[in-house]
Structure 1
């Protein structure tokens, strides 16, 4: 197969989940990390990796993301251990923030697991397209996900979301299925955000 990847950008309505997160005193960013990771973990084609020339897949992924340092306006890489229980994951996220947020550097939490995938949120820019590019020439089969700044339109919070994946492991059908499940989950946080 031609070594290509693709990016699909969609606007998602985060209104119900945003309000539910605030009501339950969760950080919306942590809820975003949890929900995306949870949904990805239900689609094995998004968890494929190569080790020693062999393809296989993980049973779940670890979100690897960036944190912003207000003091010098820089970013650092960070990761939080995924837990299928949102409350536990949220506590893991808060513990990591408390322990590492004051540190600076490219990657402030050591020993990132090999099942880490890139997910981030750019709260300063509402975009209509975002395409990450790799420059090392190595195949990366895990998704790269980026959200942008939400805007309020007709009383709804609309957030852009970019999903990039290697075409060898997934096609538009798989990504469209992901976005359908994501929007349904965002519309019905009562089913999972408790």
Structure 2
């Protein structure tokens, strides 16, 4: 894990950063339905898991801009940008109706990511422990699949997390709408490091990556 320290005085969003960390502490969250038709078709044709394929594209998008890789180090009072952020995602256990956190590393190489992520998921199925370990996974963003519904909106509250800057991403079931398969995706970012444009950009980039398949 590597990172660079941002100079707050030279940060291109310094005025916004000051306002939304001091005067108006808040986050911004948008839910949007994206067209995943091509990704579903690809997954079925290649006999691969849609979930892992989407997670790969999500990681690729979030690692494409420094804005999505920013975090604040409380103990050192540093604003940093990670070289890479990885997903912490979840396995749901039907028998206990609980979740286990799965930590996967993002690799640009699709095959390497896919194989590694599948192994992580299989390992996660073997335990019922939650195993949340933020101290050893500080460059991990939260990625959560709400598999039971295709929802219209979702809101994440972090009342004590006004200096938490990594993305929080949720998505639900895709369903057919006007002959297209559309999936709700929710993107939450801290307003100090992101505005509506940067949140909307996540959706645009995801659809661009899906259309490349």
TM-score (norm 1): 0.91
Aligned counterpart in structure 2 of residue 178 of structure 1, from 166, 183, 202:
202
- Unaligned 5+ runs, structure 1: 190-194
Aligned equivalents of 1:101 and 1:180: distance in 2?
Answer: 33
Other structure's SS at 1:136 match: coil
Where does residue 192 of structure 1 map in the other structure? none
1:154 aligns with 2:178: yes
Where does residue 47 of structure 2 map in the other structure? 25
Other structure's SS at 1:11 match: strand
Aligned equivalents of 1:168 and 1:17: distance in 2?
Answer: 33
Deviates more, 1:178-187 or 1:79-88: 178-187
Q: Which has the larger radius of gyration?
A: 2
Aligned equivalents of 2:33 and 2:201: distance in 1?
Answer: 15
Aligned equivalents of 1:72 and 1:155: distance in 2?
Answer: 37
Shift of the alpha carbon at 1:5?
Answer: 0.6
Aligned counterpart in structure 2 of residue 39 of structure 1, from 61, 64, 67:
61
Aligned counterpart in structure 2 of residue 91 of structure 1, from 89, 96, 115:
115
Q: How many residues in Structure 1 have an aligned counterpart in Structure 2?
A: 189
Aligned equivalents of 2:51 and 2:111: distance in 1?
Answer: 14
Shift of the alpha carbon at 1:136?
Answer: 3.4
Shift of the alpha carbon at 1:155?
Answer: 2.4
Aligned equivalents of 1:43 and 1:99: distance in 2?
Answer: 31
Q: CA RMSD in A?
A: 1.7
1:124 aligns with 2:145: no
TM-score (norm 2): 0.83
Shift of the alpha carbon at 1:22?
Answer: 2.0
Shift of the alpha carbon at 1:135?
Answer: 3.9
1:136 aligns with 2:146: no
- Unaligned 5+ runs, structure 2: 1-18
CA deviations 1:160-179 (Å, max 9, x no partner) are 00000001101111122222
Shift of the alpha carbon at 1:67?
Answer: 0.8
